[in-house]
Structure 1
Amino acid sequence: MDASAVATTFGAQLPPWVLTELADAPETLPTDEDRIRLTNRLADRNHREDTGGPFAALVVETETGRLVSAGVNLVLSSGLSSTHAEVVAVSLAQTRLGAWDLGAPGGPDLELVVNWRPCVMCYGAAMWSGIRRLVIPGEGPELEQLTGFDEGPMREDWAEQFEQRGIQVTSGVLRDEAIAVFRAYGEREDAVVYNARGSATVTS
């Protein structure tokens, strides 16, 4: 075989507008509401910029509220199906800290803040990342109903599985605000939904 034809690297990069949004954010995000509010803001702009779906995530120091990393869904802009917001945020945090384990001894407790319950892929990514807390607006069917995205076959006791592994789950933070972002995406005539078997266009 021609080994030179085999790809040997891959990667993704945050779009410049994310840094612009973060420049207007405070140095620390002291409350869950502060953290989810920024996540919702990034998720809403992400789909309006056509860089990916209406999803965003942060990695934050639990005690201080210091932002470690921010991620948005980059599937459309990167051409990589794995670049969901949670994977991007976790990977950037690990890169910044130089550690694959975000829960390693000696470091501050870190949490993942997402604008809805992680999909089946990001469920695993979050669980193995080393975070000690997950903060979300909700985990109901609204995301799939409003956007058409398939979040995968999540087990009913998903939150308990996190808790058994020392990862606290907090849900219900600014739920209506998060749902409004999904509704806005679903109402777009040109919204692209990239599910397991190809893509489809959501029609309002």
Structure 2
Amino acid sequence: MESLRLVIALPPWCEELERVGERYEAPLDRMRVAIALSRRNVEEGSGGPFGAAIFEASSGRLVAVGVNSVVRLNNAVLHAETMAVMRASARRGSFTLASSTGGGEEGEGGKGGEPLELYTSCEPCAMCLGAILWSGLRRVIFAARRDDAEALGFDEGPVFPDTFAYLRRRGVSVEAGPLREEARAVLASYRAAGGAIYNG
């Protein structure tokens, strides 16, 4: 009988970049972590050109990272953002990343922690925006734009101006951030390496 166990693991090299508790006070430095993850994922051949990291909003303390693992783990939902959300939730011991209370350890966005925010190397797709909403995160900052990913052939799904209006009404801010060109360079390197475009 087949096991009912489901294992979702980040690539081993992520340990080098997931310096939990380390502070990244400047927004540029936080975005650099997300882009470094995306770049390394391409270099290692361990997934698509997308990386994400969750930080405590005020302190800049790193909580969790995620990289695209769709092809490596044969699972269509394992985008960088969803991986980071799952990792942060597991670390907190809570299904919500919304408030400064919950399970987990002090200084890891858990009990006694502070609100969390997600930095991602590329504008989130429709699925990831849904996951972000349900996770309780209230702020998302991205580098490369949706158009940049779609230029490679990725389908970002049904994301419309009304989508962002809805998220704003629900208290979720999704913002274009810095370092777009650095993130676009990672996308270009993925294309040059013949990386899989795995939608549908």
- Give deviations 1:23-51, integer Å, cap 9, x for gaps: 5x992111221111111111011022111
Using the size of structure 1 for normalisation, the TM-score is 0.86
Please, which of 5, 15, 18 is the counterpart of residue 11 of structure 2?
Answer: 15
In the alignment, which residue of structure 1 is the partner of 2:126? Answer: 120
Q: 1:105, CA displacement in angstroms?
A: 5.4
In the alignment, which residue of structure 1 is the partner of 2:166? Answer: 161
Flag the 1:29–1:108 CA change in 2: closer, same or farther, 3 A.
same
Q: Show structure 1 runs of 5+ residues with no match.
A: 197-204
Q: Which 10-residue stretch deviates more, 80-89 or 153-162?
A: 153-162
Q: Percent identity?
A: 38
1:6-155 to structure 2, matched below 5 A, reads 8-22=4-18, 27-104=22-99, 106=101, 107-145=113-151, 147-155=152-160
Q: What is the rounded CA distance, in whole Å, between the counterparts of 1:81 and 1:169 in structure 2?
A: 23
Q: Show structure 2 runs of 5+ residues with no match.
A: 102-112
Partner-residue secondary structure (3-state), 2:197: strand
Q: What is the rounded CA distance, in whole Å, between the counterparts of 1:76 and 1:176 in structure 2?
A: 25
Flag the 1:157–1:139 CA change in 2: closer, same or farther, 3 A.
farther
- Give deviations 1:115-154, integer Å, cap 9, x for gaps: 1111111110011101121111143411110x22111121
Q: CA RMSD in A?
A: 1.8
- Give deviations 1:64-95, integer Å, cap 9, x for gaps: 00011000011122121111111110001000
Q: What is the rounded CA distance, in whole Å, between the counterparts of 1:52 and 1:35 in structure 2?
A: 21
- Structure 2 residue identity aligned to 1:99: S
**How many pairs are equivalent?**
189
Correspondence 1:191 to 2:195 = yes
Answer whether contact 1:59 1:67 (CA < 8 A) is retained: yes
In the alignment, which residue of structure 2 is the partner of 1:202? Answer: none
Answer whether contact 2:146 2:156 (CA < 8 A) is retained: no
Answer whether contact 2:18 2:64 (CA < 8 A) is retained: no
Correspondence 1:172 to 2:177 = yes
Larger Rg: 1
Q: What is the rounded CA distance, in whole Å, between the counterparts of 1:164 and 1:173 in structure 2?
A: 24
- Structure 2 residue identity aligned to 1:111: E
Q: 1:55, CA displacement in angstroms?
A: 0.5
- Structure 2 residue identity aligned to 1:12: I
Answer whether contact 1:50 1:76 (CA < 8 A) is retained: no
